[in-house]
Amino acid sequence: MAVKDKIIFALDVANTDEAAKWVSVLKGRVGFFKIGLELFTAAGPDVVGMVKEAGIKVFLDLKFHDIPNTVAGAVRSAVRLGVDMMTLHLSGGRAMIAAGVEAAREESANLGIKRPKIIGVSVLTSLGDNDMKELGFRANAVEQVMRLLDVALKSGADGMVCSAADLDRIKPLAPKGFTIITPGIRPAGADKGDQSRIATPASAIKAGSSLLVIGRPISAAADPLRAVEMIASEIETAS
């Protein structure tokens, strides 16, 4: 895998015009564009087509979480959009995740296309141990992540989103080909923003992350292209 392909740029913008600007700037320099709730709610499914037409892979990060039948339907719709990966909340349980995996398999086979990866979301990187207690969990953040890893593996998920702080525990248990996606990536010296559990690109790759989600360190940089180059260089030294 090329270094640039390990970078997922978070298209956390408010409209299609802003998204198109970043697609134009970063085309060929990152492996995926992440389309999340803000952009998808504002622009709708057409924004997926816009990114795909530019030749960039799409990571649809809508974190589906509902009853199995509803999630299966949402997954089928996402498959028809042509996304390359999508997220489901592992806290929805094994039956929900398995339904999503099967829906992706069936719909892709019907369309004759490659099946997108189903990626489980564990504990949001904005949540720390105090938040877990407030939410009523007996487990701390790390313990809950490990429980959700078990859900991911037993339900057939292709990968998992987790904090870099959890990688040293998850990587040894992950089967070959299991995609580990790490958000909360901040190059050395960057502001941590609203993330509680963060890591540098190099430390995350060394710890076993497959792909890195990076947004503000690129979008808020004075020179976004230089920022991408520096991140890629840091990844390369750790690979």
pLDDT tens readout for residues 13-48: 999 999 999 999 999 999 999 999 999 999 999 999
Mean pLDDT of the chain: 92
Q: CA–CA separation, 58 vs 36, rounded Å? A: 10
Helix pair angle (68-81, 94-111), 10° resolution? 30
**pTM score above 0.75:** yes
**What pLDDT band is residue 195 in, cutting at 50, 70 and 90?**
very low
Among candidate residues 63, 114, 133, 192, the one labeled active-site is 63
Q: Identify whether 63 is a catalytic site residue.
A: yes
Q: CA–CA separation, 86 vs 97, rounded Å? A: 12
Question: 58-109: per-residue pLDDT in tens?
Answer: 999 999 999 999 999 999 999 999 999 999 999 999 999 999 999 999 999 9
Higher pLDDT, 124 or 231: 231
| Superfamily of domain covering 3-238 | Aldolase class I (3.20.20.70)
